[in-house]
């Protein structure tokens, strides 16, 4: 009798284990495969690619602006350097300047005075609005270009450069100054936004 009881227990355990494995296998088959994001093609038109990159840069810069507390906009790591707000205003002035060169339009602000405007140095909302406007101004200028305009040359810094090279310098400039503010955030105990390469 004891042997039969043990055999029944063994059989019941085996059946329970088998049923559990069957349920797991069924669940894996029934569950839809995790949907992978479709891979998009990078734009083939250069102006579209540049628009994509400048849009990413704008969004990344906004994360930096969002991260710094308004009370610390005037913070300088050392007295002889620009404040956080002035770094962002310098970046914006350059965006406006480069875009104006490319579009042939007059900049919407007096770029030499931008860093001195008190409202932009004290109000996070005003600073953010202006900086994002500078990116939108650049993006609009790029959207107005085609390959011929991107290849057109003009004298810049003593060299006959294609517009594409000027745009590359402009992109490097905004990256450089946004990158400098990483240290400002760290010194104020704020974690900088995660890198946004793509």
Domains in the chain, start-ordered, CATH in brackets? Answer: 46-67+82-187 (1.20.120.450)
**Is the predicted pLDDT of residue 61 greater than 90, yes or no?**
yes
pLDDT band of 35, cuts 50, 70, 90: confident
**Higher-scoring residue by pLDDT: 28, 186:** 186
Q: What is the pTM of this model?
A: 0.81
- For the chain, the average pLDDT equals 89
Q: How far apart are CA 20 and CA 16, in angstroms?
A: 6
Q: Burial-class residue 78 by CB neighbours within 10 Å (0-12, 13-18, 19+).
A: exposed
Span 119-137, average pLDDT: 98
**Averaged over 66-85, what is the pLDDT?**
98
Residues comprising the chain, all counted: 198
pLDDT value at 11 more than 80: no
* pLDDT at residue 12, as a whole number: 47
What is the CA angle 94-114-64, rounded to 5?
A: 65
More confident residue, 82 or 25: 82
Q: Which long-range contacts (CB under 8 A, 24 or more apart) does 2-10 make?
A: none
Residue 78 has pLDDT above 60, yes or no: yes
Question: Among 28-32, 34-38, 163-167, whose mean pLDDT is lowest?
Answer: 28-32
Cβ-contact 163, 30 below 8 angstroms: no
DSSP 69-86: -GGGTT--SSTTS--HHH
Question: Does the pLDDT of residue 43 top 60, yes or no?
Answer: yes
Distances (CA, A) of 67 to 8, 57, 92, 160, 176: 66, 15, 18, 40, 18
Cα angle for residues 52, 55, 57 (degrees, 5° grid): 110
Q: Is the model's pLDDT at 193 over the cut of 90?
A: yes
Show Cβ contacts of residue 121 under 8 Å, excluding neighbours closer than 6 positions.
73, 74, 83, 85, 86, 89, 115, 127
pLDDT of residue 163: 96
Question: Which of these, 82, 53, 86, 92, lies nearest to 173 by C-alpha position?
Answer: 92
The tokens for 107 are 């900049």
Is pLDDT at 152 greater than 60 in this prediction?
A: yes
Q: What is the mean pLDDT of residues 169-198?
A: 97
pLDDT at 1: 61
């Amino acid at each position: 009798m004891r042997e039969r009881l043990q055999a029944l227990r063994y059989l019941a355990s085996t059946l329970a284990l088998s049923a559990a494995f069957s349920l797991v296998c069924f669940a894996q088959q029934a569950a839809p495969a995790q949907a992978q994001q479709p891979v998009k093609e990078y734009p083939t038109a250069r102006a579209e690619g540049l628009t994509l990159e400048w849009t990413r840069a704008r969004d990344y810069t906004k994360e930096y602006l969002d991260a710094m507390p308004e009370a610390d906009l005037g913070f300088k790591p050392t007295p002889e350097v620009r404040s956080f707000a002035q770094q962002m205003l310098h970046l914006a002035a350059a965006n406006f300047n480069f875009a104006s060169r490319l579009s042939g339009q007059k900049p919407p602000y007096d770029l030499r005075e931008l860093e001195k405007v008190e409202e932009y140095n004290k109000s996070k909302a005003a600073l953010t609005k202006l900086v994002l406007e500078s990116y939108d101004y650049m993006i609009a200028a790029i959207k107005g270009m085609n390959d011929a305009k991107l290849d057109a040359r003009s004298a810049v810094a003593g060299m006959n450069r294609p517009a594409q090279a000027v745009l590359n310098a402009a992109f490097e400039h905004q990256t450089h100054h946004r990158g400098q503010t990483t240290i400002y955030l760290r010194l104020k105990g704020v974690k900088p936004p995660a890198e946004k390469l793509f």
